[in-house]
Amino acid sequence: MSKLVTIFGGSGFVGRHIARRMAKEGWLVRVAVRRPNEAMFVKPYGSVGQVEPVFCNVRDDASVKAALLGSDAVVNCVGILADRGKNTFDAVQHEGAERIARIAAAEGVARMVQLSALGADSDSASQYARTKAAGENSVLQHMPNAMILRPSVIFGQDDEFFNRFASMSRMGPVLPIMGGDTKFQPVYVDDVAQAAVMGITGDVSGIYELGGPEVKSLRGWIDEMLTVIHRRKLVLNLPFGVGRLMAFGFGLLQKLTLGLWHNSVITADQLILLRSDNVVSEGAQSFETLGITPLAPEAVMADYLWRFRPSGQYDAIKDSARNLKV
């Protein structure tokens, strides 16, 4: 009889990769999301009936318990980048993680993987980082053998890192950024999924910091992205003081519109995170501990960023034509 894994947030950027890998492992996969009708794309990841989206709200005990019914393992991929309505950092990343772990333990679920983030710190000035740390602590309190994954910024198809800056590069000759000197160690989404699968199927526990094979400043990664999409831009590193004014203004606009307009530009909390390097700590358990060789961004960036080139998929053809004329 096939085992069952419930993946909270299983239709999200990381969750869908874990779901696909678990289906290939022969497991039944339950994808627990707030809008199952929008997650139907996960069903073809396996054979008929193998991967099923179900409704769940991680803020509700009964909802979480129903999603965990009969599960052998659980993965929590639910996280947010900014407060929005009732989905606050504390409600989702702390209380939500605690609720899943507590009910999983009560239901006799054997394995748990918690997706956290590099920089999770109970003493951080960032709500995001503090609630990620609180979520980790709560998970380990109820599921002491859980695997905690702390990835750096994650890249891949549909990422919110390279895609975001590539989209911004089409708007004019200047590409404004903040925290240009802050170091990042981007990690490929499917490498994170591979690590999660090891936490589900193997006897692996503890905290793992996940980063790719290269460390560069944010500006360094932006320059590499611009090379891939064949665009020349003046990358302007704005002072944090300007960022604070922008965050205040956008936050005020969100409040004045009663949330009808959501601030997806920059928040005060994100500015705090941009002040600290986002790299794997020396001596931490990592991909190397798991025997995984992480993929470098340049290996796949062109595969999904080509659409941001001046001529899209025809850019390479135009370059070839120009060479022929010469």
Residue 15 to residues 19, 30, 164, 196, 318, Cα–Cα distance (Å): 6, 11, 20, 10, 38
Tokens standing for residue 236: 């302007």
Mean pLDDT across the stretch 136-154?
Answer: 98
Q: Residue 110: which CATH number?
A: 3.40.50.720
Examine residue 301 and state whether it is found in any structural domain, yes or no.
no
pTM above 0.85, yes or no: yes
The per-residue pLDDT for 256 is: 85
Examine residue 165 and state whether it is found in any structural domain, yes or no.
no
The per-residue pLDDT for 189 is: 98
Residue 173's pLDDT band, with cuts at 50, 70 and 90, is very high
Residue 42's pLDDT band, with cuts at 50, 70 and 90, is very high
The per-residue pLDDT for 48 is: 94
The per-residue pLDDT for 320 is: 62
φ/ψ of residue 12, rounded to 5: -80, -175
Examine residue 228 and state whether it is found in any structural domain, yes or no.
no
Residue 326's pLDDT band, with cuts at 50, 70 and 90, is low
Structural domain harbouring 60? 4-157+186-212+278-294
Over residues 87-134, the pLDDT tens digits come to 999 999 999 999 999 999 999 999 999 999 999 999 999 999 999 999
Over residues 184-242, the pLDDT tens digits come to 999 999 999 999 999 999 889 999 999 999 999 999 999 999 999 999 999 999 999 99
Examine residue 112 and state whether it is found in any structural domain, yes or no.
yes
Over residues 52-95, the pLDDT tens digits come to 999 999 999 999 999 999 999 999 999 998 888 899 999 999 99
Examine residue 96 and state whether it is found in any structural domain, yes or no.
yes
Q: Using alpha carbons only, give the angle 86, 71, 65 rounded to the nearest 5 degrees.
A: 35
Domain total of the chain: 1
Examine residue 315 and state whether it is found in any structural domain, yes or no.
no
Examine residue 324 and state whether it is found in any structural domain, yes or no.
no
Examine residue 84 and state whether it is found in any structural domain, yes or no.
yes
Over residues 262-312, the pLDDT tens digits come to 787 889 999 999 999 999 999 999 999 999 999 999 999 999 999 999 988
What is the C-alpha separation between 139 and 260, in angstroms, rounded? 33
The per-residue pLDDT for 319 is: 63
The per-residue pLDDT for 92 is: 97
